[in-house]
């Protein structure tokens, strides 16, 4: 071999080593400072060597987004997201401010690593030149900030609590998004806070409730309101120290003009203030401070603050788009609204489920109604409600126009109730089906509004009109009874063959269990709000009829669960 050939052979390994090294450098981009490299390596080792069963942690805080965190850093080759040249960048300042502002949404900033982040920032900012051995602390900070964004984005979009874990009767559809590209986009555009804020409900009602939270927090921080002593009911014409306390109490929540706070006489102005308070709290608006009104007046300001916070959480559980035209039922308020965009075009009182037969919360689509419906009695109601009454009175079924069938098929034949030994029947032995025929005493009234769902819940007319005069209307077995069924039918059937009140009335004269499709299906949302804000800014509160607020309050106060994958 010639001398030249030997020289070339010796240079070949050197050439390939140079080519390989140069390619690696080009692939990785410009040379990183040693501290950046150390932070990146610390992130890689931390995430690649973590034990799934033991979870991830940083600076003593458990990281919650354990599925999204590794994916996010793998996609960026473990480059830190918030640290640049050993220092937190502008994006870090933005996410820190966003964490602090979670308080405005009724959430707890400390649940998003606020304390650990602030300690690390103080430690890092204390050094003019961050030493190389601080790479672990910088990696901790980067992980905490990333986890805070991922968890906060999940909580803003879907609520901090999975409603199914605290309220098995909540079935509203939840929102979906991939948090990893969301975070990457926010970092690239520098719009951290805007991105997070964009995940919150955009409805004016949410913004109003948010403002109410700020207002009631200020009241609570200033000492709340005075407690009115127990005693006889207060009404117009009374006077004394209890009346003076009442004036001060109502002035604090702006039910009474602040200029009228002084005095101890129950005059016309105070009477109007009491009426306003009663209407805002779903109480009998008689202007008399009786037992129920006094209890609502004396509920501490801190309790009202928490009531607002739990209802902000319920808003975050909802679909972001309720529908340009939709029906909304607030179970806790016993009220229904039909809304087009932000305008209420029809509203009415409703009756909801008893406390032991609660109306579930869900979103559905109403697609048809039934004129003069049969009532096919659910088995549970047949054995729990009707069977005991038949045992007491053998003629009960005849009195309520109800027939007995054996089997659920279309060919099932009616059975003479007199041939049945009702005393031998019980919950576990009841092989019959009960059906109430159309008529003036039919439990469903003359119209049934159908939104097919797995809970067999629907809206319907009722012959028991007197129940709508009561303040608390928990009398049904779960379905929604309507105060104005004809008005709702007229609205829904616009553009159909039954357009107009007269056409509907004529159809009802001869119809028997007649299905009438809607020209346009309409979204229906059965919700549970114990606090909300009207369009004019009036803050409303209602009694927690199903005792759901306390359970949700406890869940919100606990350490947050990991966001759903």
Q: How many CB atoms lie within 10 A of CB 114?
A: 19
What's the angle, vertex CA 122, arms to CA 117 and CA 125, rounded to 5? 120
221, two tokens: 């921080």
- Angstrom CA distances, 59 to 39, 135, 381, 482, stand at 15, 13, 57, 56
343, two tokens: 């305008």
DSSP string, 472-526: S-EEESSSEEES-HHHHHHHHTTTSTT-SHHHHHHHHHH-SSEEEEEEEEEEEEE
Q: How far apart are CA 139 and CA 38, in angstroms?
A: 9
- Residues with catalytic function: 460, 479
**Residue 46 contacts by C-beta under 8 Å, 6 or more apart in sequence?**
56, 58, 139, 143
DSSP string, 58-96: ETTEEES-TTHHHHHHHHTTT--SSEETTEE-HHHHHHH
**Residue 526 contacts by C-beta under 8 Å, 6 or more apart in sequence?**
329, 331, 359, 360, 361, 362, 363, 364, 457, 480
Considering only CA atoms, give the Rg of the chain. Answer: 32
Yes or no: say if 372 and 438 are a contact pair by the CB < 8 Å rule.
Answer: yes
């Amino acid at each position: 071999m010639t001398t030249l050939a030997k020289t070339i052979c010796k240079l070949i390994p050197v050439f390939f080593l140079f080519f390989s090294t140069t390619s690696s450098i080009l692939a990785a981009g410009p040379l990183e400072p040693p501290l950046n490299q150390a932070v990146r390596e610390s992130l890689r080792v931390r995430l690649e060597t973590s034990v799934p069963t033991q979870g991830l942690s940083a600076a003593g805080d458990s990281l919650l987004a354990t599925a999204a965190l590794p994916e996010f850093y793998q996609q960026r080759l473990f480059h830190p997201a918030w640290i640049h040249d050993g220092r937190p960048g502008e994006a870090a300042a933005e996410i820190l401010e966003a964490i602090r502002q979670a308080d405005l949404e009724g959430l707890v900033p400390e649940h998003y690593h606020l304390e650990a982040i602030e300690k690390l920032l103080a430690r890092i900012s204390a050094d003019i030149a961050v030493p190389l051995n601080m790479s672990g602390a910088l990696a901790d900070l980067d992980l905490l900030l990333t986890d805070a964004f991922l968890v906060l984005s999940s909580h803003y979009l879907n609520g901090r609590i999975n409603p199914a874990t605290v309220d098995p009767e909540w079935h509203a559809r939840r929102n979906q998004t991939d948090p990893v590209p969301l975070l990457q986009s926010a970092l690239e555009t520098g719009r951290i806070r805007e991105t997070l804020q964009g995940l919150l409900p955009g409805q004016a009602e949410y913004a109003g409730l948010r403002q109410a939270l700020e207002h009631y927090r200020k009241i609570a921080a200033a000492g709340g309101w005075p407690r009115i002593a127990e005693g006889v009911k207060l009404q117009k014409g009374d006077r004394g120290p209890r009346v003076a306390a009442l004036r001060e109490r109502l002035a604090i929540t702006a039910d009474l003009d602040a200029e009228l706070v002084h005095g101890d006489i129950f005059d016309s102005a105070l009477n109007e203030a009491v009426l306003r308070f009663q209407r805002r709290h779903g109480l009998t608006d008689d202007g008399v401070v009786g037992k129920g009104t006094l209890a609502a007046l004396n509920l501490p300001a801190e309790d009202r603050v928490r009531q607002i916070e739990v209802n902000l959480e319920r808003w975050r559980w909802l679909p972001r788009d309720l529908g340009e035209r939709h029906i909304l039922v607030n179970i806790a308020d016993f009220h229904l609204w039909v809304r087009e965009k932000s305008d209420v075009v029809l509203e009415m009182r409703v009756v909801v489920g008893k406390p032991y037969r609660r109306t579930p919360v869900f979103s559905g689509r109403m697609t048809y109604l039934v004129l003069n419906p049969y009532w096919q009695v659910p088995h549970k109601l047949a054995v729990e409600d009707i069977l005991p009454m038949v045992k007491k009175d053998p003629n009960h079924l005849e009195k309520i126009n109800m027939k007995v069938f054996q089997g659920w098929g279309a060919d099932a034949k009616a059975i003479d109730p007199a041939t049945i030994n009702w005393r031998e029947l019980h919950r576990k032995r009841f092989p019959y089906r009960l059906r109430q025929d159309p008529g003036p005493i039919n439990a469903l009234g003359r119209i049934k509004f159908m939104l097919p769902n797995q809970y067999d819940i629907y809206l319907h007319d009722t012959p028991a009109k007197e129940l709508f005069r009561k303040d608390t209307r928990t009398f049904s077995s779960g379905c929604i009874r309507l105060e104005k069924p004809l008005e709702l039918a007229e609205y829904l059937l616009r553009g159909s063959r039954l357009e107009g009140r007269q056409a509907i009335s004529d159809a009802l004269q001869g119809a028997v269990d007649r299905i009438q499709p809607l020209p346009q299906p309409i979204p229906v949302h059965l919700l549970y709000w114990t606090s909300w804000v009207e369009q004019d800014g009036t803050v409303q509160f209602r009694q927690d009829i199903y005792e759901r607020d306390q359970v949700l309050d406890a869940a919100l106060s606990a350490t947050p669960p990991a966001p759903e994958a």
